């Protein structure tokens, strides 16, 4: 009999995220605790910014940002890339990128939270507890907007 080891992807619901610091597209350091809003934070994890699925995910977040902003929930996207690569994307994007793109150069933050195998989203409470998570296969952009908005509403009721 072969024993298989399974690894849960993503941090556990209810676990706390450490306050990490990463550079943005301008190579300015940003602490995750400084980016959290009064109603938490939607934290995304993607790979190479120039992959077509990554571009689609960014465009989707741009399109729906106002819904999260109205609820007081900012969006931050961690990208497994270099700051200068994020700068190139940021400056060439046809639409402004109105949320931070943080460069996880070596993928260590992705790996720390086992978000290095799939793109995904974490909904964090204001005190950096994981309230909800979504792991997204490559053939989907993100979860349905209604599902995300319901989770944000639920978090607001808990805060």
Question: Which domains, ranges and CATH numbers included, belong to the chain?
Answer: 24-158 (3.40.30.10)
Ramachandran angles phi, psi of 106, nearest 5°: -100, 5
Q: What is the reported pLDDT for 4?
A: 45
pTM over 0.85: yes
Distance CA 122, CA 137 (A): 15
Q: Classify strands 101-103 and 75-79 as parallel, antiparallel or unpaired.
A: parallel
Q: What is the reported pLDDT for 10?
A: 81
64, 95 in Cβ contact below 8 A? no
Region of residue 122 (left: phi > 0; alpha: psi -120 to 50; beta: else) = beta
Q: What is the reported pLDDT for 94?
A: 83
Which contacts qualify for 91-98: CB closer than 8 Å, 24 or more apart?
93/58, 95/59, 95/62, 96/62, 97/25, 97/58, 97/62, 98/62, 98/65
Name the token pair of 126: 């204001």
- pLDDT by residue for the chain (159 residues), tens only, comes to 444 444 567 888 999 999 999 999 999 999 999 999 988 999 999 999 999 999 999 999 999 999 999 999 999 999 999 999 999 999 998 888 999 999 999 999 999 998 988 899 999 999 999 999 999 888 889 999 999 999 999 998 887
């Amino acid at each position: 009999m072969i024993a298989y080891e399974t690894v849960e992807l993503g941090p556990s619901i209810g676990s706390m995220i450490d306050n990490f610091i990463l550079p943005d597209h301008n190579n300015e350091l940003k602490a995750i605790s400084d980016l959290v809003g009064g109603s938490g934070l939607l934290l995304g994890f993607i790979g190479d910014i120039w992959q077509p699925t990554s571009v689609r995910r960014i465009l989707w977040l741009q399109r729906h940002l106002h819904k999260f902003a109205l609820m007081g929930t900012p969006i931050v996207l961690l990208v497994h890339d270099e700051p200068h690569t994020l700068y190139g994307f940021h400056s060439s994007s046809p639409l402004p990128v109105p949320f931070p793109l943080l460069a996880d150069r070596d993928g260590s933050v992705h790996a720390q939270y086992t978000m290095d195998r799939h793109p995904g989203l974490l909904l964090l409470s204001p005190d950096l507890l994981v309230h909800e998570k979504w792991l997204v296969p490559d053939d989907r952009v993100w979860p349905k907007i209604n599902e995300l908005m319901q989770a944000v509403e639920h978090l607001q009721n808990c805060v």
